[in-house]
Structures are given as structure tokens and as C-alpha cells.
């Protein structure tokens, strides 16, 4: 039995969980999320607590037990509070702006890059260089942030590019002028 899977999930006020095998649905002020639960697990909802129960006792079920509990806990936290990832644009002339569900970035290419945000994800831009991605689905917020970063990853010599907020880029030393040559 998984130690993580045994812990109950406390539901904050305003969050409801419904389970009709194999689909669990979590709804709250942040939206509505759905997930499929493996057939070897069951969900027990008792008042403000939700428990994930393993039906069988194999190694695979033990791993799925803890994973399912963590995914369900992330869903509960996502519809209650939401998740966010912050990105920074580093470079001369690098800027971003949001128009509805479209994020337009100028990041050193000959053309601006347009990125359409999926449903459930919102973006805000501060000071033209700081992008904040918000949403209820933790995995989707992280995926969108990584896709944006891949548009122009930080380069190793000057550090220009799109990076996560607080990310430290180890810069390489450039070629020294006149080093070793006669």
C-alpha cells in the first residue's frame, strides 16, 4: 500500500468532487477538471475528506495509488487556488503583449511570434517582459510555460531568451581576444 495514497485529501470550501467510475470530476471557483481513474482504484468521498482506495495489492497498483492521489490533490488545489508560472524575456527589444487568447512576442526573429493560449489558461504581461501563465490544471500550466520557453531558450553566452522567473543560466566564457595566437 502506498504511503502517499493513504493520506486523505481535505476539500476546501467551495470545492466538490463527484466520482462516476472511471471518471472523477472536481469543480470549484477556478473551473472544472476531469480525470480517469484506473479500474484497480476506487474513490471514497466522505464529507470534507476524499480517499483513494486500492482494490488490489500489486506493485503496479501501489504506484498508481500514490500517483492518483497526487493528481487528485493537484486538481482540488487547482480549482480552489489555481497554479501559475512566471516567465521573463531577457534581451534588447524583447517584449510581449496579450490580446484576448493570443500572446504575441518579439524575441529577436524577423517576425513576431504568435502563440494561441488553450481554453482554461490565461496570460498577463507586466512591464512588457514578464509573462504570468495562470490556470487550474497544473500539468497544462507547466506545459504551456515550457512551450513558450522553447520558442527562444536562453542562449549560453549572453543569456538572451525566454526563461522561467528565478532561473539561473550558467553562462559560458566567450573566446578571449588574442588568446594563444601569435
Q: DSSP string covering 13-63, please?
A: TT-EEEEETTEEEEEETTEEEEEE--TTEEEEEETTEEEEEESS-SHHHHH
Burial of 144 (0-12, 13-18, 19+ CB in 10 A): buried
Q: What is the dihedral sign for C-alpha 155, 156, 159, 163? A: positive
User: What is the DSSP secondary structure assignment for residue 81, as one 8-state letter?
Assistant: T
Measure the CA–CA gap between 131 and 94, rounded to whole angstroms.
Answer: 12
* Residue indicated by cell numbers 487568447: 101
Q: Look up residue 104 and give its three cell numbers.
A: 504575441
**pLDDT digit string (tens) for the chain, length 182 residues:** 578 888 999 999 999 999 998 999 999 999 999 999 999 999 999 989 999 999 887 878 888 999 999 999 999 999 999 999 999 999 999 999 999 999 999 999 999 999 999 999 999 999 999 999 999 999 999 999 999 999 999 999 999 999 999 999 999 988 876 555 55
Amino acid at each position: 500500500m502506498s504511503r502517499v495514497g493513504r493520506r486523505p485529501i481535505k476539500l476546501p470550501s467551495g470545492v466538490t468532487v463527484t466520482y462516476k467510475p472511471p471518471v472523477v470530476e472536481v469543480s470549484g471557483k477556478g473551473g472544472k477538471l476531469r480525470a480517469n481513474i484506473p479500474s484497480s482504484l476506487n474513490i471514497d468521498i466522505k464529507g470534507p475528506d476524499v480517499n483513494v482506495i486500492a482494490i488490489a495489492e500489486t506493485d503496479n497498483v501501489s504506484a498508481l495509488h500514490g500517483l492518483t492521489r497526487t493528481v487528485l490533490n493537484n486538481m482540488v488545489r487547482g480549482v480552489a487556488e489555481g497554479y501559475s508560472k512566471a516567465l521573463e524575456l531577457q534581451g534588447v527589444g524583447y517584449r510581449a503583449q496579450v490580446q484576448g487568447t493570443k500572446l504575441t512576442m518579439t524575441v529577436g526573429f524577423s517576425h513576431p511570434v504568435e502563440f494561441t493560449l488553450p481554453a482554461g489558461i490565461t496570460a498577463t504581461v507586466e512591464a512588457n517582459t514578464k509573462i504570468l501563465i495562470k490556470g487550474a490544471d497544473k500539468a497544462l500550466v507547466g506545459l504551456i510555460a515550457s512551450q513558450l520557453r522553447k520558442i527562444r531558450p536562453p542562449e549560453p553566452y549572453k543569456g538572451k531568451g525566454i526563461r522561467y522567473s528565478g532561473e539561473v543560466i550558467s553562462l559560458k566564457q566567450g573566446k578571449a581576444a588574442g588568446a594563444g595566437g601569435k
